[in-house]
Amino acid sequence: MSIISEMPVGTAEQLKETSVGNSRQSTLAAKQGDIGAGNQSIQPAAKSIDLALPEVPPLADVLLEPLVRNTLQEDLGRAGDLTSNYIIPAEAYASLRLAAREHGVLAGLDLARIAFRLMDPAIKFLPLMRDGQRLNPGDVIATVEGPARAILSAERTALNFLGHLSGVATATARIADVIRPFGVKVTCTRKTLPGLRMVQKYAVRVGGGSNHRYGLDDAILIKDNHVAVAGGVHQAVERARQAAGHMVAIELEVDTLEQLEEGLAAGANIILLDNMSPDMLREAVRIVNGRAVTEASGRVTLDTVADIARTGVDYIAVGAITHSVKVLDIGLDDAGAAAPGEIREI
């Protein structure tokens, strides 16, 4: 089941509503299953989503420019944009607008802006929305005006970033909206597309999710193969504790309750509960009893995520929100007007 295609997200109008955080008491009640009846999965419609996504601090241009520049260079190749250069007069001016064609969550606006600026500083890019806003079909995201050749040459790079990252944010929001009532957060993984990890993780934050470790060097995650080579759970965790600095978290992946007990005794800070049933997750949370952060993973979909959240885990890891998302349909359309005195060819 595709995470991105099965459930609408809230609308731009709903983004304006003021959100009130749940009390600790209601969060705990939700985790114990008081929200919803029995084991039914929550299926919120767009109209039921009344929480605005928080505004996420943007990534600095100095971080984004190398990625955008390399992407433009890849597209322009050895001879530049033959189509635009041969067909569009050098003096042609275009007035276009970036517009949403389906519901979703916007992400990647700065990369689009940088793509047009790098192509020609004379291009005027005016954002009308911000990353994190809920999109409706027809919403105008930004206007783009300037030399037509340069705009058309940067178009695909800008749309690729916008469509993909908005897809990541949308997929994340659909999961986050379902589990929010339970006080649980969705987190991404290292299953990102090569070269795009920084911006994909940014899009996850934009969609209301949390970031897992960025790479192999910022946290310790002991998985089954590490345990096997190290000789056991206790040996693996103990060696990690002895070598790691006090700022480095140690997470242990377990798939049995016996491993869980051993990992807690060894001092793991975070327990990754892998491919466990809801009943087993609930028992694992009871055993942990606040001694470590709990994270569930494995075969998470919109159909299963509410039942997982009800077990009381702290986080739910979903690799699909970065590695298997559907691009959000965003287009660059004719705005219908040209600058005074300019040749208009678009």
Q: List, for residues 244-279, the tens digit of each pLDDT value.
A: 999 999 999 999 999 999 999 999 999 999 999 999
Q: Which domains does the chain have, with CATH numbers?
A: 23-51+172-323 (3.20.20.70), 61-169+327-344 (3.90.1170.20)
**Per-residue pLDDT, 5:** 42
Q: How far is CA 157 from CA 15, 142, 150, 230, 274, in A?
A: 28, 16, 12, 45, 37
For residue 148, give both structure tokens.
């037509």
**Catalytically active residues, by annotation:** 156, 191, 223, 253, 274
Taking Cα atoms as reference points, which of 227, 217, 209, 305 lies closest to residue 268?
A: 227
Fill in the amino acid letter for 54.
P
**Per-residue pLDDT, 17:** 32
CA dist., res. 1 & res. 167, Å (int): 16
CA dist., res. 142 & res. 162, Å (int): 12
Q: Across the strands, what pairs with 272?
A: 253, 295
Asked whether 142 and 123 are in contact (CB, 8 A), the reply is no
CA dist., res. 150 & res. 82, Å (int): 12
| 3-state secondary structure string across the chain | CCCCCCCCCCCHHHHCCCCCCCCHHHHHHHHCCCCCCCCCCCCCCHHHCCCCCCCCCCCCHHHHHHHHHHHHHHHHCCCCCHHHHHHCCCCEEEEEEEEECCCEECCCHHHHHHHHHHHCCCCEEEECCCCCCEECCCCEEEEEEEEHHHHHHHHHHHHHHHHHHHHHHHHHHHHHHHHHHHCCEEECCCCCCCCCHHHHHHHHHHCCCECCCCCCCCCEEECHHHHHHHCCHHHHHHHHHHHCCCCCCEEEEECCHHHHHHHHHHCCCEEEEECCCHHHHHHHHHHHCCCCEEEEECCCCCCCHHHHHCCCCCEEECCHHHHCCCCCCEEEEECCCCCCCCEECC
The sign one gets for the Cα dihedral 10, 13, 19, 25 is: negative
Phi, psi for residue 339 in degrees, rounded to 5:
-70, 145
**Per-residue pLDDT, 299:** 86
- Cα 244 vs. chain centroid, distance in angstroms? 29
Ranges of residues in the chain whose predicted pLDDT is under 50: 1-7, 10-51, 337-346
Q: List, for residues 296-336, the tens digit of each pLDDT value.
A: 999 899 999 999 999 999 999 999 999 999 999 999 998 75
The pTM assigned to this predicted structure is 0.83
State how beta strands 220-222 and 250-254 pair: parallel
**Per-residue pLDDT, 53:** 78
Looking only at Cα atoms, what is the longest distance across the chain? 77
